[in-house]
Homo-oligomer: A and B are copies of this chain.
Amino acid sequence: MQYQETENFYSNLYDELFPILRSITGPGLRQSYDIFGRYMPLEITSLKSGTKVFDWHIPQEWHCEDAYLVDPNGKTVADMKRLNIEVLNYSEPVDREIELDELQAHLYSLPDLPDAIPYVTSYYKKRWGFCLSQNEREKLAPGTYKAVVKSEFVDGTLDVAQSVLKGQSKKEVMLSSYLCHPSMANNELSGPLVLLGLYHRIKNWPQRRYTYRFILNPETIGSLSVLHILGDHFKQNMVSGLVINCMGGEPEELVFKHSRNDNGILDKLLYHLNNYGYKHGNIPFSPMKGSDERQYNSPGFQLPVCCVSRAFHTGFKEYHNSFDTKEAMGIKPLIDSIDKLEKIFLAHEQCATLENTSPYGEPNLGSRGLYPTISMVSKERERQATELNDMRMLLNYGDKMHDTIDIANLQNKCVTEMSSAIDKLEQNALLEML
């Protein structure tokens, strides 16, 4: 199978990835990277178990071979091989008989959503357990159950994966998504799938002003690991970042949670574009909810990393339970997300702080063929004036203090409309990117 931007391709890829038992470390994560690695080059960086990462330590790998719970009548109540969220993720091993009363403390269900099986994790305290629907739980007969989790904790690594598309500038845009939930659709696979699509779109652009870095990692401890590896690099080079998740579902428009300081290029562009027909939502940063953007936006980093989703920020009933399926997510919305994000990043390519290299007085545009050689008022000349006006604005405000969005705003026009003036001045070395 070769990469194709078709619903069929994405549907098949989804089906291959869905059943894998992922966690924040371990073989399921590596297997998933391998699959993505067939369609985009991925460089893997590994941190050993126990490595100190800021205030945290890399946990051991969780290897889980099998897990099931059998009732007094021999009926299987939970079975990891049927649906891998039925075992508590990161569960410690167990192999014992247990009375229902005692077992209850090891069962997880959702009273408010009685048909759904929850997805539950216990990474930082050793527990064993099973997840099941509230309805099934209420039917459990008293008696002796057989609880088996064939898991072990192994010294290994935590792995992050990245791929870079170089641009004219070292300044870079980071696009990331997370892989660590096992069989989840919208809140797991939708993000990496859209990231793959964006990789191919951006790879095919005739030129790139910026360098683009694509990252896959397990959530939280994975983005902390990315910062452990790349934090200083990001502080120097990142102009915009975007955590991509929950790209499917019903909402028509993307919603961007902005970065903490709301001062990245992408932050500014997202507001600007809304004045010119774009309809995405913009919501402010908060550390109270969210995903990896919380780590990138921690006070020690304050990177301009936004987070995009369709429904994540407002909550949806499929969140972290067995209702989060391919059907609820849909494949079509993923393609639509790729379209919308590419369009935004194409506009982002026009956004930069461009310094006038000839700042003392106006440069002689006539000597460079950029100005009418005859001074005469006429209607004709008025019509030609738009590009010339763009050039004058770009030169006058090419003062290290204004970026192209500011200059577009001064003219009440979209930054994308100034692209020909930007091109000509850059070609004549009258503007240089800061």
CB distance from A300 to the nearest CB of B (A): 3
A364-B55 in contact (CB<8A) = yes
A360-B298 in contact (CB<8A) = yes
Q: Which residues of B contact A55 (CB under 8 A)?
A: 358, 360-364
Number of identical monomers bound together in the oligomeric complex: 3
Interface 1/0 per residue, A388-401 and B, CB below 8 Å: 01001101111100
A288-B356 in contact (CB<8A) = no
Q: Is residue A2 within 8 Å, beta carbon to beta carbon, of the partner chain?
A: no
- Interface-forming stretch among A75-83, A209-217, A372-380? A372-380
Q: Which residues of B contact A393 (CB under 8 A)?
A: 287-288
Expressed in whole angstroms, the Cα–Cα distance for A398 and B298 within the complex equals 9
Q: Is residue A366 within 8 Å, beta carbon to beta carbon, of the partner chain?
A: yes
Q: Which residues of B contact A53 (CB under 8 A)?
A: 361
Interface 1/0 per residue, A318-341 and B, CB below 8 Å: 011100000000000000000000
A396, closest chain B residue (CB): B287
A297-B125 in contact (CB<8A) = no
B227-A367 in contact (CB<8A) = no
Q: Which residues of B contact A272 (CB under 8 A)?
A: none
Q: Which residues of B contact A364 (CB under 8 A)?
A: 55-56, 124
Q: Which residues of B contact A385 (CB under 8 A)?
A: 288
CB distance from A42 to the nearest CB of B (A): 23
State whether A362 and B294 are in contact (beta carbons under 8 Å apart), knowing that A288-B393, A396-B260 are contacts in the complex.
yes
Q: Is residue A404 within 8 Å, beta carbon to beta carbon, of the partner chain?
A: no
B360-A301 in contact (CB<8A) = yes
A355, closest chain B residue (CB): B299
A320-B377 in contact (CB<8A) = yes
Q: Is residue A6 within 8 Å, beta carbon to beta carbon, of the partner chain?
A: no
Interface 1/0 per residue, A192-235 and B, CB below 8 Å: 00000000000000000000000000001001100100010000
Q: Is residue A359 within 8 Å, beta carbon to beta carbon, of the partner chain?
A: yes
B302-A361 in contact (CB<8A) = no
Q: Is residue A102 within 8 Å, beta carbon to beta carbon, of the partner chain?
A: no
Q: Is residue A178 within 8 Å, beta carbon to beta carbon, of the partner chain?
A: no
A287, closest chain B residue (CB): B396
Q: Is residue A108 within 8 Å, beta carbon to beta carbon, of the partner chain?
A: yes
A122-B227 in contact (CB<8A) = no
Q: Is residue A121 within 8 Å, beta carbon to beta carbon, of the partner chain?
A: yes
The 14 sampled A-B contact pairs (Cβ below 8 Å) are A55-B363, A55-B364, A118-B376, A121-B374, A124-B366, A124-B367, A287-B392, A287-B395, A294-B362, A298-B359, A298-B396, A299-B397, A299-B398, A300-B356
Q: What 6 pairs between A and B have smallest CB-CB spacing?
A: A300-B359, A299-B399, A287-B396, A125-B373, A300-B360, A299-B359
